[in-house]
Amino acid sequence: MTAAVTPEKPELPGVSGASKKNEEAGTASLRSVARTYAERVRGGELGALPAVLGLIVLCVFFAALRPVFLSELNFANLLTQGAGSIAIAMGLVFVLLLGEIDLSAGYASGVCAAVLAILLTDQGWPWYGAVGAAILTGTVIGLLLGLLVAKVGIPSFVVTLAAFLGFQGIVLMLLKEGTNISIRDRTILAVANDNLSPALGWLLLAVGVAVYAAIQLRQNRNRRHRGLTTAPLALLAVRIGGLAVLGAIAVHLLNQERSRNVIVDSLRGVPIVVPVIAVLLVAGTFLLQRTSFGLHMYAVGGNAEAARRAGIDVAAIRVSAFVICSSLAAVGGIIAASRGNSVDPNTGGSNVLLLAVGAAVIGGTSLFGGRGRVVDAVLGGMVVAVIQNGMGLMGYSSGVKYAVTGSVLLVAAGVDALSRRRAVQR
């Protein structure tokens, strides 16, 4: 086998003087970074760009037609409204990365929510024990589904479709054919209904920005030590500054009084569910982009046979993806139970699965495997929440909301298919 020869770095037109010196030293210029990104977009690697542009257009559209859309109260509602679906969508990203599907994620969240409610209300368990049992239930569900797909060889569509039907029956049996179980534990209810204090919101923002800045700078330093091209400091400043500015605007708006009767009940601060989703986002992103497990998952999703020949345990990766998916579905079920103050046979049903899959795909995760990020679920979930919320403010029926959301999902899938075709042609 001949050793690979690294080609000399081609000289980029329009980059001269200080920029050339920077590139020779291993630091790319802003112009070269922008050119590289533009080439990737032209080559079909759109990533989350359509979701970001769509989110901006939708917000401008609804704000123009219904100014109340930009109110502090509605902004807080947007963040809590889609939190449960976003948590489930984050788990679906791992499965979709492998080119698989989990049609049972919605009702799996319902089963876990039912376990939570029974242990809390009927059995008198403490909240942490009930939450642990609910997440463990999701883990066991994912392990079972993953083994059937990876070891037995049943297609994931068939396995999860069967689970979709079976879990509906399990929910009914757990809830005694339709019983509604109320959630009374204050800690669980606080997850989707209470807010952080204004000071704590600012503190968490400062810590988050500081950690993000430290990660970016450390990554740049490590790349420099390895002799790899690093991002220009100006680009790092834009990333860190952009996060700080957007976060500050969000925290400022959420810290405004949203209650219509301040004397009876004050309503200020960042919803507690926001940092919960943020922690899941950071953990999932780290797992996919900073660990060998994440690299193996992308490799299996890109070409399972090549990954197997490279020594990757493909079956273990597939099982792990379903375990993560169902565990995060359990988190989504807990959030849904908190938001609804109860659990009933419809928890996890109705349009929960469709919105979660839509969130992942609309955000930029490919249905063909090998491409996607956890943040895609957040961006796509916000697009779906904006559509649902904005059309609700405009007085449209549920039928129109579903039709529009389905159309957006179809467009996102079409963009994904066309971008992959363009990438292959290049």
Read off the pLDDT of residues 245-256 as tens digits, 9 standing for 90 and up: 999 999 999 998
57 contacts 43 by C-beta, under 8 angstroms: no
What's the token pair of residue 420?
């992959």
Strand partners, 342: 182
Q: How far apart are CA 323 and CA 163, in angstroms?
A: 14
364 contacts 373 by C-beta, under 8 angstroms: yes
Residues constituting the chain: 426
CA atoms within 13 A on the CB side of 287: 19
164 contacts 350 by C-beta, under 8 angstroms: no
Q: Give this prediction's pTM.
A: 0.86
Q: Which is more confident, 137 or 55? A: 137
Kindly report, residue by residue over 93-109, the tens digit of the pLDDT.
999 999 899 999 999 99
Judged by phi (left if over 0) then psi (alpha if -120 to 50, else beta), residue 366 lies in beta
364 contacts 420 by C-beta, under 8 angstroms: no
For range 302-311, the mean pLDDT: 90
CATH number of 50-194+271-405: 1.10.3470
> What value does the mean pLDDT of the chain take?
85
Helix (H, G, I), strand (E, B) or coil at 195: strand
Kindly report, residue by residue over 363-417, the tens digit of the pLDDT.
888 888 888 899 999 999 998 888 888 888 888 877 887 788 888 778 877 777 7
Q: How far apart are CA 25 and CA 19, in angstroms?
A: 10
Give residue 215's pLDDT.
Answer: 87
What ranges do the domains of the chain cover? Answer: 50-194+271-405, 195-268
- E strands within 227-362? 342-343
Asked whether the predicted pLDDT for residue 183 surpasses 50, the reply is yes
Q: Which of 258-267, 270-279, 398-407 has the highest mean pLDDT?
A: 270-279
**What 8-state DSSP symbol labels residue 27?**
B
Asked whether the predicted pLDDT for residue 330 surpasses 90, the reply is yes
